């Protein structure tokens, strides 16, 4: 069914692979240091030692002191916590304004949106076409009510590196805190919280070849933070709960490799330029969205005029290439990237844009292979399918007798989420046994759980002569989000289970 020649992973801003030393260290800790770091006997004390050593290593990697680092479960938690806790503290003191960039990660953007409903005033700076904020504009917005400036160091979608040092100098003159999401910057550019001058920062292990499920907060001195989780003394009482020691030790091991990662950035930048030149050589019309200065060396955002990014992503996936159409945290959503819209792109242009993020292990031959696939795409040699946004699947769409909804989810996925009404269920694994039953005179809409498996089936059907074929972007997960009321009202209604022939 698949024609995956090889795997080329160009989505390292979403997550990186876990390095061998990190895996080894985590296994050591899981095996030999299973004691609770809070227990007083030797097994607990040895776990506490690993925790302390890890904290010192992670702190060192960001230029902080060990006591300034709080471990969390991820950077999203760190961002949520910082914003909510600071708002709680300052609202009680009569200060209510946060100034932020409009191109922050969803874990910042959506927290700010939530905070607005509890009385915080959020003021968004404008950004230019490459994502840079203006210090002049920032200065003009600062006032007595402002308690926080929130601006990421490096953007995850386009790679823009902001002048956080300049922001901090301004903030200091007005006695205002600065919080910076440093998740994408760590390991790609030198990050030193003291040199930057930030008061708070967030980090994540899985962007630097460490494990998923662990992040960190940098917090300068005794700045005010209300506890995130009550019920224990861990993390200086700010975040109760037994520490995830193997993850924390894995994070520390990943941090040890940062100097080596920084030394490799030049090679990564050369690979990035090689890829950009190759793409431009194939298609003069494409537009590089990432800035040509102050940009992460691994990140390339490219607009392919006339091509839909969801379809492009699906085509690349068919050939084993992973790229992304925005933040990994919002790809199940149905909206175009807020980052690209903030740069001034139209919705249509944003939906023509893909992000490629390289790693230390990306080889030129991976990029050559990707360029070869693009050359086929531009020459119309790859099969064409359509993507349907989940928000378009409303009652009228579902009830249209011309639409034939084909649900290819696995059994366990069907237990988790109800299907789109009027759909026909088939088995993904034994799909060939159902093909004859699929009508050729209807619009076949393939649905999977998250939007990726469906593309493989859509391509298979296309090759078998079914022309009107599309897949649902983001699958049932996105449909449930986009059509929450419909999901509650009629999700799972009138589903037909096809029997294999």
Q: Please identify every residue annotated as catalytic.
A: 329
Among residues 101, 184, 324, 423, the one that binds ligand PLP under rule CB under 6 A: 184
Among residues 107, 146, 308, 382, the one that binds ligand PLP under rule CB under 6 A: 107
Shortest CB 209 distance to ligand PLP, Å: 14
Among residues 142, 150, 152, 171, the one that binds ligand PLP under rule CB under 6 A: 152
Beta strand residue intervals within 318-396, DSSP E: 321-322, 353-357, 386-389
CA distances from 293 to 156, 189, 254 (A): 16, 13, 28
> CB of 114 within 8 A of CB of 90?
no
Shortest CB 101 distance to ligand PLP, Å: 11
CA 255 to chain centre: 20
For 325, which DSSP code? S
Q: Counting contacts by CB under 6 A, is residue 204 touching ligand PLP?
A: yes
Nearer residue to ligand PLP within complex by CB, 228 or 393: 228
Shortest CB 203 distance to ligand PLP, Å: 8
Torsion of CA 380, 383, 388, 389, to 10 degrees: -70
**Strands 299-303 and 353-357, bridge-based pairing:** antiparallel
Residue 413, both tokens: 């996925």
Q: Counting contacts by CB under 6 A, is residue 111 touching ligand PLP?
A: no
Shortest CB 186 distance to ligand PLP, Å: 10
- Binding residues for ligand PLP, rule CB under 6 A, total 16
Report the 3 state secondary structure along 207-273.
HCCCCCCCEEEEECCCCCCCCCECCCCCHHHCECCCCCHHHHHHHHHHHHCHHHHHHCHHHHHHHHH
Residue 468, both tokens: 């009107």
Q: What are phi and psi of 75, to 5 degrees?
A: -75, -30
Q: Counting contacts by CB under 6 A, is residue 181 touching ligand PLP?
A: yes
215-244 residues near ligand PLP, rule: CB under 6 A: 215
Sketch the per residue contact string, 268 through 307, with ligand PLP: x for CB under 6 A, - otherwise: ----------------------------------------
Sketch the per residue contact string, 62 through 81, with ligand PLP: x for CB under 6 A, - otherwise: ------------xxx-----
CA distances from 281 to 201, 234, 284, 321 (A): 40, 55, 7, 20
Nearer residue to ligand PLP within complex by CB, 215 or 475: 215
Among residues 328, 417, 481, 495, the one that binds ligand PLP under rule CB under 6 A: 328
119-148 residues near ligand PLP, rule: CB under 6 A: none
Q: Counting contacts by CB under 6 A, is residue 105 touching ligand PLP?
A: yes
> Residues interacting with ligand PLP, by CB under 6 A?
13, 74-76, 105, 107, 152, 156, 181, 183-184, 204, 215, 327-329
């Amino acid at each position: 069914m698949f024609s995956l020649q090889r795997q080329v992973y160009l989505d390292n801003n979403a997550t990186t692979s876990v390095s061998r030393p990190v895996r080894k260290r985590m296994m050591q800790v899981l095996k030999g240091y299973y004691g609770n770091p809070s227990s007083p006997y030797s097994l607990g004390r040895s776990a506490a030692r690993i925790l302390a050593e890890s904290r010192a290593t992670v702190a060192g990697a960001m230029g902080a002191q060990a006591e300034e680092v709080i471990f969390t479960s991820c950077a999203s938690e760190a961002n949520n916590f910082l914003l909510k806790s600071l708002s709680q503290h300052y609202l009680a003191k009569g200060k209510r304004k946060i100034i932020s960039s409009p191109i922050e990660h969803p874990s910042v953007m959506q927290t700010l949106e939530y905070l607005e409903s509890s009385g915080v005033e959020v003021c968004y700076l404008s950004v230019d076409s490459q994502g840079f904020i203006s210090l002049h504009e920032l200065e003009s917005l600062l006032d007595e009510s402002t308690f926080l400036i929130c601006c990421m160091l490096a953007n995850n979608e386009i790679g823009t590196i902001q002048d956080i040092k300049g922001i901090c100098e301004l903030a200091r003159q007005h006695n205002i805190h600065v919080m910076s999401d440093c998740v994408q910057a760590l390991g790609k550019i030198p990050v030193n919280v003291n040199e930057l001058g930030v008061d708070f920062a967030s980090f994540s292990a899985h962007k630097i070849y460490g494990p998923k499920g662990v992040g960190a907060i940098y917090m300068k001195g005794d700045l005010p933070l209300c506890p995130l989780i009550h019920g224990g003394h861990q993390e200086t009482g700010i975040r109760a709960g037994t520490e995830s020691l193997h993850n924390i030790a894995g994070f520390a091991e990943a941090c040890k490799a940062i100097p080596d990662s920084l030394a490799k950035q030049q090679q990564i930048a050369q690979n990035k330029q090689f890829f950009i030149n190759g793409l431009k050589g194939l298609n003069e019309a494409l537009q590089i969205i990432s800035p040509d200065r102050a940009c992460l060396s691994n990140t390339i955002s490219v607009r392919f005029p006339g091509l839909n990014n969801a379809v492009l992503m699906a085509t690349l996936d068919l050939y084993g290439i992973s790229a992304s159409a925005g933040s990994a945290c919002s790809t199940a959503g149905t909206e175009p990237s807020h980052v690209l819209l903030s740069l001034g792109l139209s919705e249509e242009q944003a939906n023509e844009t893909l992000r490629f993020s390289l790693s230390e292990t990306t080889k030129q031959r991976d990029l050559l292979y990707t360029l070869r696939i693009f050359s086929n795409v531009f020459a119309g040699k790859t099969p064409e399918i359509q993507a349907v946004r989940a928000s378009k699947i409303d009652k009228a769409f579902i009830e249209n007798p011309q639409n034939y909804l084909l649900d290819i989810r696995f059994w366990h996925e069907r237990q988790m989420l109800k299907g789109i009404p009027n759909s026909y269920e088939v088995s993904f694994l034994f799909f060939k046994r159902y093909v004859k039953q699929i009508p050729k005179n209807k619009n076949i809409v393939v649905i999977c759980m998250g939007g990726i498996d469906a593309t493989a089936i859509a391509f298979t059907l296309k090759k078998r002569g079914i022309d009107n074929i599309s897949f649902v972007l983001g699958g049932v997960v996105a449909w449930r989000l986009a059509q929450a009321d419909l999901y509650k009202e009629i999700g799972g209604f009138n589903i037909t289970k096809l029997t294999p022939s």
